[in-house]
Amino acid sequence: MLNNSSKEVYKLSLFRMIMVWLVFLLAFVFLTTRLLYIQIIHPERLIKEGNSRIVRSYSFEPARGLITDRRGKILAISVPVKSIYADAKILNEKKVILDEQLLRTIADILQIDVKELFDKIKDPSRRHVKLKQYLSLERANELKALNVNGLIFNDNYQRFYPTGEVNAQLVGILNAEGNGVYGIEQSFNGYLSAISSKSLAKKDLNGHIIENIGVIQEGKAGGNLMLSVDDRLQAFAYNALKTTIEKSEADSGNVVLIDVKTGEVLAMVNAPSFDPNDRSVFKSQNAVNRAVADIFEPGSTVKPIVALSALDAGLVSWNEVFDTRPYVIDGKLVKDSHYMNQGSLRDILKYSSNTGMAHIAQRVGHTTILNMLYRFGFGQKTNLGLTAESRGTLNANRKFWAEIDKATLGYGYGIAITSLQLASAYATLANYGSRVNTSILRTHKQEIGVQVANINEVRRMHQALETVVSEGTGGKAAINRYRIAGKTGTARIAGVGGYEDKYIATFAGFAPISNPRFALVVVINNPKKGSYYGGSVSGPIFQAVMTHALQLYNVEPDKE
């Protein structure tokens, strides 16, 4: 009886069985509906959660553009390298941090101190520690061969400058972010810079790509630049300039060489310079392209242009004889370093007479002179495209000009110019008064110039400037078998309390006179040993660089 009653107690009724099955059915329907909803109808959230675990974006940056000279020689190139990072957590978990010999091997390959390496990876909470920004591919392969879990290798580029200090200021350098600072790198940064491509991919736990999803952003390689400069002339001019600066113990100097017909800058060098491939000894003052950034009072090198303003106005003639004896203006004595009692305009230029030019400038007036200087490109940028270029100053808006100010303007004081402006002005003189735009990029056609001075008077000026070299103050610039036109310049440097016993020694000229091809300017700042005159200090550099240019470009001699 007990057994039978027990069986009846545990026997399920039909109603209960239906309810149980109904619960299972409802649960099944609910789960099926839920799965259908989240996986088929609205799967976005699950996809997002899944992608967050396996889908990663990655980028590839093409190389920055090349910078070459006019013949294609590379002046700046981006070399493929690796950037090395560390996952300190993995390195600690794998006990790499306790393996002293392995750490020393890694540090040797990375060329860093082993203590520096240890300090960077000892904290296991650091997941992405930079160990080396630029590591050569050869050393990166050595590091990969160690098979160390926790080291991360990223593609990168390192900017390399094959010509080193020769072109350093002209070409410029990159900062830590890969943007150009100084020179061409800065001025044409947007054009040279590459645009990264961005893509999506599915990656496994080790970071390996298992499926490419697609491209988010198309990349673009940086543009290449071919400069107008000739590295053969750059190297020669730099070495000649560096030697002179060291010999004369000058503060600095620069050389600018321009093709008269095209306006192309064939050489632009500065000294002292720096090694753009070694930042450990970098000095910012040596990275400035002084040929376009620094301004100075040009001294006697502007006398030919001042004389042209007087001739153009019909206020002087080549045959007129001027009093060149010392005289006092506004209580200040004007005198010459090469004394003579009187002389024609040709004599005044030949012997660089300040007194003669002072008389002419007072007669002509500052307005006429400044107008001619402006026509020759002073007081304005050359539009070379270099960011650091200065426009200089002509003081054209100055309200009051004393007689002494007008007089000294005649021999290059009271205005400030750059070496590039002076070279461009002498290229205009050489081109018979036709001013052609200058270019730091190679051009493939001859520019059409603007006539800024009377062509007949400019031709006579060529003859006068030839006597400066053949008979006057510029004898050290003379070149065998070539007729050279040039002008010396020796200007005192203005300080806080007035002019100091420091000088800018300049020589500007062009060659050959029969068919001018090159205009060249040499500027030496504050020579302290030996002579400080432009003819003595800068003349020999002019002679060496111009000779090299004429021979290199096979320019036919015009003198027996």
| Residues catalogued as catalytic | 300
Helices and strands (H and E) in the chain: how many: 21, 21
Task: Give how far the C-alpha of residue 504 lies from the chain's centroid of Cα atoms, to the nearest Å.
Answer: 24
CA atoms of 540 and 248, how far apart (whole Å):
13
Those residues with Cβ within 8 angstroms of residue 390's Cβ, 6 or more apart along the chain or in another chain: 292, 293, 294, 295, 381, 418
Both tokens of residue 211? 């499926």
Phi-psi region of 42 (alpha: psi -120 to 50; beta: other; left: phi over 0): beta
Phi-psi region of 432 (alpha: psi -120 to 50; beta: other; left: phi over 0): left
CA atoms of 365 and 293, how far apart (whole Å):
29
φ, ψ dihedrals at 419, nearest 5°: -60, -40
Q: Give the residues across from 452 on adjacent strands.
A: none
Closest CA to 151 of 90, 81, 99: 90
Both tokens of residue 72? 């294609």
φ, ψ dihedrals at 339, nearest 5°: -75, 135
Both tokens of residue 478? 């003379």
- Distances, alpha carbon 146 to alpha carbons 101, 107, 139, 141, 440, in Å: 12, 12, 11, 9, 48
Give SS3 for 377.
coil
Read out DSSP for 464-524? HHHHHHHTSTTGGG-BTTB--EEEEEEEEEEETTEEEEEEEEEEEEEE-TTS--EEEEEEE
